[in-house]
Amino acid sequence: MPRDNFAEPREQEVSGATVIARALLAQDVKYMFGIVGIPVTEIALAAQELGIRYIGMRNEQAACYAASAIGYLTGRPGVCLVVSGPGLIHALGGMANANINCWPLIVIGGSCERNQEAMGAFQEFPQVEACRLYSKFSARPASIETIPFVIEKAVRNSIYGRPGACYVDIPADFVTRQVDVSSIKFKECCLPPPISMADTSAVNMAASVIRNAKQPLLIIGKGAAYAHAEENIQKLVEQCNLPFLPTPMGKGVVPDNHPNCVGAARSRALKYADVIVLFGARLNWILHFGLPPRYHPHVKFIQVDICAEELGNNVRPAVTLLGNINAVTQQLLEQFDKTPWQYPTETRWWKALKEKMESNEAISKELASKKSLPMNYYTVFYHIQEQLPRDCFIVSEGANTMDIGRTVLQNYFPRHRLDAGTFGIMGVGLGFAIAAALVAKDRNPKQRVICVEGDSAFGFSGMEVETICRYNLPIILLVVNNNGIYQGINTDTWKEMLKFHDATTRAPPVCLLPNAHYEQVMTAFGGKGYFVQTPEDLQKSLRQTLANTTEPSLINIMIEPQSTRKAQATSFCSCSASSLYNRWRRWGQTSRLRIQVDLLQQ
Ligand code: ADP
Ligand code: MG
């Protein structure tokens, strides 16, 4: 028999780009966001060929925000694909945000050819080192053959333990070079993250501390949302009749309209609770560090978290429950199944919380009912809330827009709210909305994404409207426009100022162009734009756009440039919008900027 019949089939060759795409697919990566260019275009093409969705964005930062939101919403990291040097540097904001939010993310950065390193190659930059500060794991595969090994490790690291960002560096010469497929060490999909449970004696102790609480409170954070702990946490809330407070992105784990939700009495609940159970929420600035005067000096904290290093940060907890939130909540439920217990309804604590909720809600309602024009924030949010579909994703960013919107716009489902998060980052809205719309398209094509943006926040990633229109995503952008950052000035004052002064020396730094027609950014790309100034126009445009299930739209909502939050017992944080603004005003009174401030006050 001729020897040829026994010969091995000719070894198949594959490019480095294909190896990367196959490795990502093997790890169940479904979405890739990025901006192509030298040397990564082939990677995007190879990914698309294998069925990974590639979404071309307009700025790497927004691409990275979108990829990180995919990680939070699906539990599987999205990929952000960027070019070398500046491309990667633009993505660092997104990486930092993902890491600080504890969201999984994979960034793949092209880099210069290895044989040009240290020679001043095109866009050469120490990328692996640069990413270390912003990630859990940052590496370059030693060869094309080991790419699958590094990608599996990056994906596994991004979802195991406390989730976070991982970086994989791909030198240009890896991308197009062909190698024998048999030389590649392909890896199977990593196992799902192992479920860890808390020590039984700690669970017993926690149950006993809860049973003895006089003024208990559960705080539900975005870690609980990420952990899919909604069913168990709601059971615990109801079985034990406990008041709960969601953090900004913890909203919806248990619906906002649940009778045990005390969101409208937030400050009081925090200040007077004697036992607080934290489900996946850190005692950072968002929760005022867990310290007096915002908390009772002797409050007992029970911390539930997957990250041991988090336990004991800023306070000495009464009990620590290290483990997966869903599993630990199940452990707690078992305790309360064995020896049932319920916090009584007729207590001074429930009464105090309910009274405060009623009075706060009454103030908000009164502000919302104000008929004067331009509208205030409360009027705007009241009308939006009235028409929002219950299952919509709400993405929100801005200063007052986000803070006030959080109190009025309700969430009924977990992982349906995305905002500036732990990093307090601006510019995330459009990237997050794009990610949410893609997830919605796959799960429930009728689901809408409502993206509520301050006019300043919108500006950071405004060109992503083109991306939204290109992919025809069902996103409704609402730009709450007060002509500025925190506060702005009206057109007449602006024009008056320009008559006598140069804007660069006199325009208050918080101001943006009054009456900007942001809706035209949407119409420029074929979407629908609305410019609204009255509640009637707002209602009408919302009705129209919600009836239209496919077309992206932008409603530019003009509000009173000086509109603010209702008075707070204590400001949300030491650098909240209003306190910053007041500081700036006080400073203005004693400086040569007084004229500027006077103009503002007209
Ligand atoms: P929030 O902003 O809502 O207050 P944080 O981001 O501060 O929430 O806290 C989320 C916490 O949840 C982090 O400390 C993180 O380690 C933790 N976490 C994330 N996933 C899980 C999980 N599956 N089980 C337990 N804890 C988790
Ligand atoms: Mg504004």
Residue keyed to tokens 């510019």: 427
- Identify the pLDDT of residue 26: 98
Residue closest via CA to ligand 1's atom 19 equals: 223
Report which residue type is found at 253: V
Q: Is 241 left (phi over 0), alpha (psi -120 to 50) or beta?
A: left
The conformation of residue 196, written as its DSSP 8-state character, comes to: P
Retrieve residue 219's tokens: 């705080």
Q: How far is the centre of ligand 1, averaged over its atoms, from the C-alpha of 223 (Å)?
A: 3
**C-alpha closest to that of 203 among 322, 340, 324, 343:** 322
pLDDT at 2 over 80: no
**325 close to ligand 1 (CB < 6 Angstrom):** yes
Mean predicted lDDT score pLDDT of the chain: 92
pLDDT recorded at residue 563: 85
Cα distances from 339 to residues 128, 207, 235, 374, in angstroms, run: 53, 10, 15, 57
50 CB contacts (<8 Å, ≥6 apart)?
A: 21, 22, 25
Task: Kindly tell me if the per-residue pLDDT of 433 is higher than 50.
Answer: yes
Least confident of 120-124, 155-159, 275-279, 444-448: 444-448
pLDDT at 595 over 70: no
Q: SS3 for 245? A: strand
CA 559 to chain centre: 25
Check whether 583 has a pLDDT greater than 90.
no
What pLDDT digit, counting tens, does each position of 285-300 carry? 999 999 999 999 999 9
- Whether residue 39 is preceded by a cis peptide bond, meaning omega within 30 degrees of 0, is yes
Residue 162 in contact with ligand 1 by CB distance below 6 A: yes
Average pLDDT score over residue span 107-134: 97
Lowest mean pLDDT among 195-209, 363-377, 558-572: 558-572
Token pair belonging to 87: 């491309």
Q: CA angle, 527 as apex, 524 and 529 as ends, to 5°?
A: 80
Q: Which atom of ligand 1 is nearest to the CA of 422?
A: 2
Per cent of the chain over pLDDT 90 is: 89
Tokens of 580: 């910053």
Q: How confident is the model at residue 5 (pLDDT cuts 50, 70, 90)?
A: very low
- For range 294-321, the mean pLDDT: 98
Judge whether 24 and 52 are in contact, CB under 8 Å: yes
- Residue 548: the pLDDT is 82
C-alpha closest to that of 415 among 227, 558, 564:
227
Per the model's pLDDT, the better-predicted residue between 118 and 577 turns out to be 118
Report, as an integer, the average pLDDT of 448-468: 98
Ligand 2 centroid distance, CA of 477 (Å)? 14
pLDDT digits (tens, 9 = 90+) for 155-211: 999 999 999 999 999 999 999 999 999 999 899 999 999 999 999 999 999 999 999
Q: Which atom of ligand 1 is nearest to the CA of 221?
A: 3
Token readout for 17 is 């780009």
Q: Which of 224-238, 466-480, 575-589 has the lowest mean pLDDT?
A: 575-589
pLDDT at residue number 550: 76
